[in-house]
C-alpha cells in the first residue's frame, strides 16, 4: 500500500472520532506493510486527557517486544507527548498528514532519529481547519492552550 492509502485509513479513524463527538485526529501503525493497530483521539469520549490519536493507536497495538519495524501514520503533526512516546518506543518513521493547523514537533522527532514524512494532505488540512474554526474551545483544551 502507498502512503496515501495508509493516510486515508488514519483519516477514516479521525472521522470516527469526530462522529463520536471528539477531535478528528487518527492514526494507524504499520508493520511490514500491514496495519497492526488503529486509533483516534478519545479525550472527549473517555474523559482522558492523554487519549490522543497516536496514544490510542499504540494502546490498541498492545504490548510489543519492539516497534523497530513499524511506521506511524497520523493525520496531524504529533504533540510533544505523542512525539516523546514515538521516540521512547523507538518507532523509526512517522508519516504526518498535515502540520499547517498545528506544527507539532517535527524537528524534535527528526533530531531524535525519527524519519518524518510530511504529506500536506488536503483532506487532513481541511478536516482540522474546519474543526478548529467550529470548536476553538475543545481544540485549545486538546493542545493545552488558554
Q: Per residue in 43-69, pLDDT tens?
A: 999 999 999 999 999 999 999 999 999
Known catalytic residues?
54
Instruction: Give the residue from 60, 41, 57 showing the smallest Cα distance to 6.
Output: 57
C-alpha cell at 79: 504533540
pLDDT classification of 145: cutoffs 50, 70, 90:
confident
pLDDT classification of 124: cutoffs 50, 70, 90:
very high
User: In this predicted structure, what is the pLDDT of residue 55?
Assistant: 98
pTM higher than 0.75 for the full model? yes
Q: Quick: pLDDT tens for 73-100.
A: 999 999 999 999 999 999 999 999 999 9
Q: Quick: pLDDT tens for 24-48.
A: 999 999 999 999 999 999 999 999 9
The answer for residues whose C-beta is within 8 angstroms of residue 139's C-beta and 6 or more apart is 23, 131, 132
2 close to 12: Cβ distance less than 8 angstroms: no
User: In this predicted structure, what is the pLDDT of residue 141?
Assistant: 86
Amino acid at each position: 500500500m502507498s502512503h496515501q492509502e495508509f493516510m486515508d485509513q488514519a483519516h477514516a479513524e479521525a472521522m470516527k472520532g469526530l462522529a463520536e463527538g471528539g477531535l478528528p485526529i487518527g492514526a494507524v501503525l504499520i508493520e511490514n506493510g500491514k496495519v497492526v493497530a488503529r486509533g483516534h483521539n478519545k479525550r472527549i469520549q473517555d474523559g482522558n486527557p492523554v487519549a490522543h490519536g497516536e496514544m490510542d493507536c499504540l494502546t490498541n497495538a498492545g504490548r510489543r517486544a519492539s516497534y523497530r519495524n513499524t511506521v506511524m501514520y497520523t493525520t496531524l503533526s504529533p504533540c510533544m507527548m505523542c512525539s516523546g512516546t514515538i521516540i521512547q518506543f523507538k518507532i523509526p518513521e512517522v508519516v504526518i498528514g498535515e502540520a499547517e493547523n498545528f506544527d507539532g514537533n517535527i524537528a524534535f522527532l527528526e533530531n531524535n532519529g525519527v524519519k518524518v514524512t510530511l504529506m500536506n494532505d488536503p483532506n487532513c488540512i481541511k478536516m482540522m481547519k474546519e474543526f478548529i474554526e467550529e470548536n476553538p474551545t475543545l481544540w485549545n483544551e486538546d493542545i493545552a492552550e488558554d
